[in-house]
Amino acid sequence: MMPPGAKASGEDDLIARYFRPLATDPGAFGLIDDAALLKSSSGDLVITTDAIVEGVHFLADDLPDTIARKVLRVNLSDLAAKGATPAGFVLTLALREAKDAWLASFASALGDDATAFRCPLLGGDTVSTPGPLMISVTAFGYTPPGKMIRRSGAKPGDKIAVTGTIGDAALGLRLLKGGVSGNVLDKPACDFLVERYRVPQPRSPLAAILRDHATSAMDVSDGLAGDLAKLCAASDVSAAIDAKSIPVSEPVRKVLDAGQVSFEDVVAGGDDYEVLCTIPENHWAAFAADALRVKVAVTMIGSVAAGDAAPVFLGADGKPIALKRLSYSHF
Amino acid sequence: MMPPGAKASGEDDLIARYFRPLATDPGAFGLIDDAALLKSSSGDLVITTDAIVEGVHFLADDLPDTIARKVLRVNLSDLAAKGATPAGFVLTLALREAKDAWLASFASALGDDATAFRCPLLGGDTVSTPGPLMISVTAFGYTPPGKMIRRSGAKPGDKIAVTGTIGDAALGLRLLKGGVSGNVLDKPACDFLVERYRVPQPRSPLAAILRDHATSAMDVSDGLAGDLAKLCAASDVSAAIDAKSIPVSEPVRKVLDAGQVSFEDVVAGGDDYEVLCTIPENHWAAFAADALRVKVAVTMIGSVAAGDAAPVFLGADGKPIALKRLSYSHF
């Protein structure tokens, strides 16, 4: 698009230099066409879109390689939770200026992840903005027909599972913002938490396993408590979670035990990008074995219950833990 | 995603109130899932993405209904030029604040266009930003297998056509910015040009006709001269354009004749969102008849030539018109 009086070329050069090398899929047409192509497939196409904004989802001094990984991975996390195998993505990049060093690092990391997760760059749009850096990714994945895992299939009696550990990223962000006194955690522990905030680990190997076993699934991005409430609402069920069974990392355990963060900080924090899913009891053993085979840690944290009550988190005394907030909202 | 300490809910309410009514396609799941679904199809899926930024692609005081129409229509314009029938879109909305009146108007206009162009809302992401409003759309369309029209198929001897009129939108923007003295154009003429800038007219009815006849096509978004150069480069050809045959509206003709804008302003302006295509000579009559049938004006403006020289615009004297700039680039 062209407001009169604007600067001469540069955008095409930028795309050719940094992003064309990533556009290895034939459907990307080397990024010289107006559109990308996904060939007809016998599968359903799953589409997810997530944007990140400087100062909101990442910090102004975050490095371009972690920003690139994060924006792709938050979308890959959605695809994994839906049981979809990655097919490709398109990228919208709104930049204040085109800095070579920044773009080279961003594109290199994006390309590495695109290769690692077999999710090639198909196309995009690069625009200038006078405001904060903003990056939007729309990612595509395939499932066999009718096999996308929805939020809405959970049934009373199903077991509730999460992957990995919960609360690391929220604590990592808090560390970056100076909100945790440092004496409880050593540097490797702090680095681990910050890395968990900056570079999520999409549970892509679990996608096919979820298709075989899960009645519902979503990724935990806005906090376990709030996301579980959404899953329950979509499935028209309730849930009981055994708080002490929620998997936490050693550093999170330490700051919890030291009273530096609350249980609420862990389950209503965000940026976990772990999978939350429901598994029928008679599938649990096979699900756990399959997850072990692909080296994704899964932990049973509770059960689906009938009714439309809000999910409860039960403490060691068997009583519900009161939560003042469940998750984050932008508005 | 959830930085600790952020505000309580609202985002879900916003989506439910304003955008769920637009999500009529079953694959949108009422916007309560993490992903959307396109059912398997025998056709190829064409994907295009275009973002618009406040202060860059639209003005801060533009009304929400025209902003909504523009962001969807610039993507529909791409689909039309690629010969694709719309299938749906996802929306990323980065807002400073959630104003009800703004959102109601935005969503209502978006819904009207989604219905009119049969391109339903499938999903999206709504995030907060401290900066300018930014909206990104990724749109999907189908073609029969192998039938997407690329930029790269033009052959020497093909006739070059554009739809509609060229230069209206660039002049409309210039009027909004106060860059044209007003005495040549009356108010209806000014309104026409501004409307052409604010609300493009995607040439969707031409999509199927392009599939039958065009060897290459793209939409004119960054200026006819620059976009033609891109099409020629992708097709490894050159082109000769008869400048006086380029279709211009009556208001543009007036300001051209009055010397208030130059030929360059018309062909290197942007935001036209007309289709530029190449048609084999023996298809021209059928192409023109088919376009007439669907009421899309098409004009032959020149011919594809062999070689890799830059396309030339020939004046009334038969000599090339020198152009200092061809189009807009963001960087």
Domain CATH for B50: 3.30.1330.10
Residues B297 and B259 in one domain: yes
B136, B180, B327: best to mutate for the A interface, most A CBs within 10 A: B136
From the list A322, A229, A226, A220, the residue with the least C-alpha distance to A273 is: A220
Sign of the alpha-carbon dihedral angle for B147, B149, B152, B155 = positive
Nearest CA-CA distance, residue A284 and chain B, Å: 24
Q: Inform me whether the C-beta atom of residue A41 falls under 8 Å from chain B C-beta atoms.
A: yes
Residues B139 and B288 in one domain: no
Domain boundary among A113, A143, A173: A143
- pTM comes to 0.92
Tens-digit pLDDT profile for residues B89-106: 999 999 998 889 999 999
- Say how far apart CA A119 and CA A85 lie, in whole Å: 9
Residues B100 and B164 in one domain: no
- List alpha helices for chain A, DSSP H: 11-14, 64-81, 100-116, 168-176, 187-198, 207-213, 224-235, 250-257, 263-267, 284-293
Q: Inform me whether the C-beta atom of residue A225 falls under 8 Å from chain B C-beta atoms.
A: no
CATH code where residue B205 lies: 3.90.650.10
pLDDT of residue A1: 31
Which of A40-50 are b and which e, b meaning 16 or more Cβ less than 10 Å from the residue's Cβ? Answer: bbebbbbbbbb
A127 interaction partners in chain B (CB closer than 8 Å):
51-53, 56-57, 330
Residues B121 and B162 in one domain: no
From the list A35, A146, A183, the residue with the least C-alpha distance to B148 is: A35
A13, A32, A47: best to mutate for the B interface, most B CBs within 10 A: A47
Supply the DSSP symbol for A112: H
From the list A143, A149, A141, the residue with the least C-alpha distance to A278 is: A149
Q: Inform me whether the C-beta atom of residue B136 falls under 8 Å from chain A C-beta atoms.
A: yes
Domains: count for chain B: 2
The answer to the question of residue B243 being in a domain is yes
Kindly provide the ipTM of the predicted complex, given to two decimals: 0.90
Residues B170 and B308 in one domain: yes
pLDDT of residue B277: 98
A75 interaction partners in chain B (CB closer than 8 Å):
none
Residues B185 and B305 in one domain: yes
Residues A189 and A131 in one domain: no
Tens-digit pLDDT profile for residues B297-328: 999 999 999 999 999 999 999 999 988 887 76
Q: Which residue has the tokens 């009718």?
A: A146
Residues B139 and B240 in one domain: no
Tens-digit pLDDT profile for residues B220-258: 999 999 999 999 999 999 999 999 999 999 999 999 999
Domain boundary among B143, B167, B194: B143
- Say how far apart CA B94 and CA B71 lie, in whole Å: 13
pLDDT of residue A12: 81
From the list A71, A72, A69, the residue with the least C-alpha distance to A57 is: A71
Statement: residue B331 has pLDDT above 80: no
From the list A125, A200, A144, the residue with the least C-alpha distance to A168 is: A200
Closest partner residue to A145 among B40, B136, B265, by Cβ? B40
Domain extent at residue B310: 151-314
Which helix (H) or strand (E) segment is B106 a member of?
A: helix B100-116
The answer to the question of residue A319 being in a domain is no
Closest partner residue to B36 among A47, A129, A179, by Cβ? A47
Residues A132 and A198 in one domain: no
Statement: residue B3 has pLDDT above 70: no
The answer to the question of residue A151 being in a domain is no
Query: pLDDT means per 10 residues in chain A (331 residues)?
Result: 39 88 92 89 92 90 95 97 97 92 96 97 93 95 95 97 97 87 84 95 98 98 95 97 98 94 93 97 98 98 97 95 76 63
Closest partner residue to A2 among B94, B122, B271, by Cβ? B271
If contacts are CB pairs under 8 Å, which of residues 191-220 in chain B contact chain A?
218-219
The answer to the question of residue A154 being in a domain is no
How many other CB atoms sit within 10 Å of the CB of residue A249? 17
Statement: residue B8 has pLDDT above 50: no
Residues A177 and A98 in one domain: no
Average pLDDT score over chain B: 92
pLDDT of residue B151: 96
Give the pairing of strands A298-305 and A238-242: antiparallel
Residues A114 and A193 in one domain: no
SS3 B48: strand
Task: Pick the range with the lowest mean pLDDT from B106-120, B170-184, B196-210.
Answer: B170-184
pLDDT of residue B324: 84
Residues B100 and B179 in one domain: no
Nearest CA-CA distance, residue A84 and chain B, Å: 10
B92 interaction partners in chain A (CB closer than 8 Å):
49, 51, 92, 136
CB B44, CB B142: distance < 8 Å: yes
